[in-house]
Structure formats: structure tokens, C-alpha cells
Structure 1
Amino acid sequence: MFTKVTTRCHKMENLNHEPANKDEFTKLIEELSNNPDVFCKTQQRDETDISGEEKIKFLTDIFDKSKANFLSRFGRFLNADRINLFQQFEGDPKNGYELKFHLKHLTQSQSRSKKQLRNKRYAALKRLVDKGAYFSENEMMKRNPLLYEQLVGQYLSTKEKRLRDRLDYTDTNSLVGVLMNGIEKEQMEAKRRIQELEEDTEEEDTSDSDVDCHECPSGVSKISTGEEKPVHSLWGEFHEQDNKPIKPRPTTKDVDLLITSKERQLLREEFITTMYEHFLEGKDDDFDYNAVDNSDEYDNFEIITNDEEEKYFDSEEPEDVNMVVENNGNVKEESSEDELDIYMNALNQHPSVCQLSEDIKKL
């Protein structure tokens, strides 16, 4: 009986002191100790910062004593993944209730912060589209050359490519400008080659996982077509290999015969839409998101009328399909707009986007 009680107490103690993944919490505490905004109770903002070891010891002591108190004091500095690590301590009989309260509060707070972050980036996107330069065709091509080539570039004629490149030289009349333009093109080509290598690697990994690889006994062909045929050979004897002809990739001229002007326009719009989405998701490596995310400049920026943007961000799931009965008795199926449709419809109605589409049609 005494052994059972001791074991039960030991389990309860582990709920508060022995996390299942110690390494993750060690990294968490190290990250907090390196955060200049995290202050210990003995620190003042004007005082000299304490050493990293002292900070780690201070944070570790609070963590060991009370996970709830730790979350209360430092939870606002943690991301969602770090906060979720504390869910394993919800069963703590001593601090479990308080810990659940802080977890719920932090989750709700991060949800609001995430929405505000999206709103800020959307405002920045709208402003950049108004200015036109950052989301011009040439600039987007430089940022994602492989995607541009796949959706737009390979379908352009030689004349269209010359016109596109000529527009890129309008602001480079000086010798320095011409040299910089050449450097940017070299960087773009290098980036495209890297993207191609990464894409090929991903495709190889996917194909390798789909193939059922198994070890075959010696002397048996690796690829079987129903029955495994042993291959017998004598010393010094050579076998001819079945070399299948490699199909060449279709050239630009071949592709032009398979795609209409309307399809080209749809692919171009898909490219622009993808670049907008990458910007909102924080995937644009060339953009300084700190200038937007940590700025108050975009907080009260009017984005879209009639709360269209709010509908896009508030809706987590598409609405169900509604059945509408018309006056003549026919049943009409009406599919509600997806969140992305609402968002992109609002963007496509913007004057700058409309003007860009008109310019493209003239090419």
C-alpha cells in the first residue's frame, strides 16, 4: 500500500517537474534567455544586463517551481508550438487549473495577433500594388524566376520577351544602371537553377517513396514484370542493354501549339495570385516583414470596403452549398464563394491590378 501511494505521488510530481521532452524546454529557456525583451525580476531596463547563465538559472528555477507562473510571466514571448508544449502539464493537481487558464488566454491572444498580422500584411500588399514597382512583372520574375518561367515565361514569344526586357531598361540609362541590371539577371539565373535543383530533388524523393524497393537475390533482374527471370552469364561474356530512347522535353514552339491566349492569361493571373499569397504568408525572402509586422503604420489602414477582407480572414471553412429555388420552380445549385475567391476578387477589382491586366493583353 505504501509503495502504491509513493508511486502515485511520484507520478504527480513528474507532472510538474519532469516534462516528456526535456530538450524542447531546454531550447525554449535558451531562446528566452537570448531575448532582450525578457527581463528578470532583479533587472531594471536601464541596468546592465545579467549574464546568460544567470538568466537561464533564473528562468529554470521558475519553470521548475510552477509551470503556470512561468507561462503567466513569459508566455507572451513564446510562439504557438512552444505554448502547446505546456499542454502535457494540464493534469497537474496543484497548478493544472491555472495553467489551463493561461493556455487558453495565450491561444486566444495569438489568434488575435495572427489576424492583426494578416491585416497589416494585406494593407502593405495593397500599398505596394498601388505603387506598382514591387509587384511589376519584372520584379516578380526576379524574386521567383522558376515559377515565372513555368507559368508565364515559356509561353512568351521572342518579341514579347524583348519588349519585357526593354521595359526593364527604362530606369537604367546610366552605365552603372546597365551593369546593375546585368548583375541582377545573373543572380536571377543562378536562383532559377537552384530552384530547379530543389524541385528535381523533391520529385526524386517522391518517386523513390512510391517505388516498392526490395532486395533481389544475386543474378535476378531488379525490375520484374510478373516473373523474376534469372540472368546467367559466362565469364568474359557481355550482354546488350535495352536502351530506351529518351523523349525530349517539348520546346517553347511545341508548347505554343498546345495553349490558347486565354489559357496564357489564366496562367499569368495564377502567377500573380501565387506571388500575392506568398507575400501574405511571409514567404517572400526579399521583403523585410519586420518593417510591417512591428509597425503601427498599418493598424488603421482602410483595406477593403464592405468587410470583404474580414470575411476572408474570419471564415475558417467554406460555407456549405445552398440550394436556391427560382420563381419558375427550377432548383438552382448555388455554391458559396471560397475565402480565397473573396480575397482574390477584391484584389482583382483593384485599379492597379486591372491596369496590369490591360497592359498584359496589349502584349
Structure 2
Amino acid sequence: MTVVLRDTFPVADNSANHRRIVIKNRRKRYLDTHPEYFSSELELADPLLYDRLVRHFQTSAERTAEDRAKGWSGIVEADIERSEAKLQALANPDPNATVTYRLGEDGEIVEEDADEDMDGNPQTKEQALEEWKSVMTLRFLAGDDDDFEYETVDEDERLDFCPEAERDMEEAYFDAQEPVQVREDGEPLTGETGVQDF
């Protein structure tokens, strides 16, 4: 997902809308320059979403490696947070949720997909991880990460528009494009090889 916020107001404009756009731009640039924000520690922000979009697609070796990195206390904390979130979802079901929870025969909390083949549900590990990052990005931009000190980003003028970064993004975009030959009038060259056969 690419989120680019542009400030269309003059720099001298001190309106609340201008300030809001500047802050969101700084937050987005922070995420672009700090990919480590999306580490497994972010699981605690929304344990059910992380469970559905990341852990569901992990191999047992990947889960074991992630658990080792968290340590014993991290594993216990994540399990407690996930269990509490499931209990909360069980007590207050969301009618719009694609995943619901019910009590199983042995008293365990069982996850049920409303429709596993529904459009929009990720089918691959890459799609799921991209969706998780997208949701966490929107959450971060809105200022909904209670464990993050937004003042350090919101007041950091170094995260404002940077011509070098903009140029790097443009170069990356153009490098990814396929070259197209055009005629002098700007129309794409079609059916001609450029080799004369006479």
C-alpha cells in the first residue's frame, strides 16, 4: 500500500488542517524510514488481527524463531493479550467481522471464518502480511498506537518534505517502468522494428 499525503496549502498557512496534514506526512515518512516499526512486537496492538494475518501463515519454524526472539515473558504476554482479545470478541461480537469466536465443546475459544473464500481475505502469506502492514500503517497515521510517543515524530521537522527523498522515489518509479519507443509526434511506435529491410 502506498500512502502519500500532499500538503496543498501554502507554507505560511497555520490552519488546523495544514497542521494535521504535516503531522500525517511526518508519520508516514517515519514509517518509510523505520521499517522495524512493523516487528512482531506490534502483535500486542491487535493480537487477533496479527493472529489471523501473520501467525496463521507462519510455518512452525517461523513461529518458534519469533517466540525465541520474544523470550519467555514476551510469549506469555502475547498469549495473555490474545486470550483477552478473544474473550472480548466473544463477549461483544462484531456483526461486520469476517472472523467470529464461539465457545467450543471443551470450553476453548474457537475461531470461525464467516466465509473463507470471501473476496478480500488474503490467500497467501505475502497478501496477509501486506494487509496487516496496511492496517497498522493507517492506525499509526491516525495516532492510535497507545505505546508510541508521537510527539517525537510530530515535532520532527527533519521528516518534512525532502527533495532528495522525492527524487529517489521518482527514480525508483521510473526505473521500474518499461521503456517505450515513441515517434516524433509522441505516439508509441508500433509495428516497426527500426531495421530496414532493403
> Does the TM-score normalized on the shorter chain lie above 0.5?
yes
Letter in 1 for 2:146: D
Matched, 1:272 2:133: yes
- Identity %, equivalent residues: 24
1:288 is paired with a residue whose SS is: coil
1:203 is paired with a residue whose SS is: coil
Matched, 1:157 2:47: no
CA distance 1:275–1:305, change in 2 (3 Å): farther
Matched ranges for 1:64-83 at <5 A: none
Aligned length: 142
CA distance 1:108–1:293, change in 2 (3 Å): closer
Query: What does residue 117 of structure 1 align with?
Result: 23
CA distance 1:186–1:301, change in 2 (3 Å): farther
**Residue 120 of structure 1: how far off its partner (Å):** 1.0
**Residue 249 of structure 1: how far off its partner (Å):** 4.3
**Residue 291 of structure 1: how far off its partner (Å):** 1.0
Whole-angstrom CA distance in 2 between matches of 1:159 and 1:282 = 34
CA contact (8 A) 2:49 2:132 kept: yes
CA contact (8 A) 2:47 2:78 kept: yes
Whole-angstrom CA distance in 2 between matches of 1:300 and 1:250 = 44
More helix by share: 1
Whole-angstrom CA distance in 2 between matches of 1:305 and 1:284 = 31
CA contact (8 A) 1:143 1:188 kept: no
Normalised by the length of structure 1, the TM-score is 0.33
**Residue 116 of structure 1: how far off its partner (Å):** 0.6
Normalised by the length of structure 2, the TM-score is 0.56
**Residue 282 of structure 1: how far off its partner (Å):** 0.9
The equivalent position to 2:41 in structure 1, one of 111, 124, 139, is 139
**Coordinate RMSD, CA, aligned:** 3.8
Whole-angstrom CA distance in 1 between matches of 2:135 and 2:47 = 13
Whole-angstrom CA distance in 2 between matches of 1:184 and 1:158 = 17
CA offset digits 1:154-187 (Å, max 9, x no partner): 3333233223334x16xxxxxxxxxxx3223322
Query: What does residue 290 of structure 1 align with?
Result: 151
**Considering only CA atoms, is the larger Rg found in Structure 1 or Structure 2?**
1
Query: What does residue 338 of structure 1 align with?
Result: none
Query: What does residue 198 of structure 1 align with?
Result: 88
CA contact (8 A) 2:67 2:75 kept: no
Whole-angstrom CA distance in 2 between matches of 1:293 and 1:266 = 30
Matched ranges for 1:1-363 at <5 A: 109-129=15-35, 132=36, 134-136=37-39, 138-166=40-68, 168=69, 181-203=71-93, 206=95, 249=110, 263-301=124-162, 303-305=165-167
Whole-angstrom CA distance in 2 between matches of 1:120 and 1:291 = 10
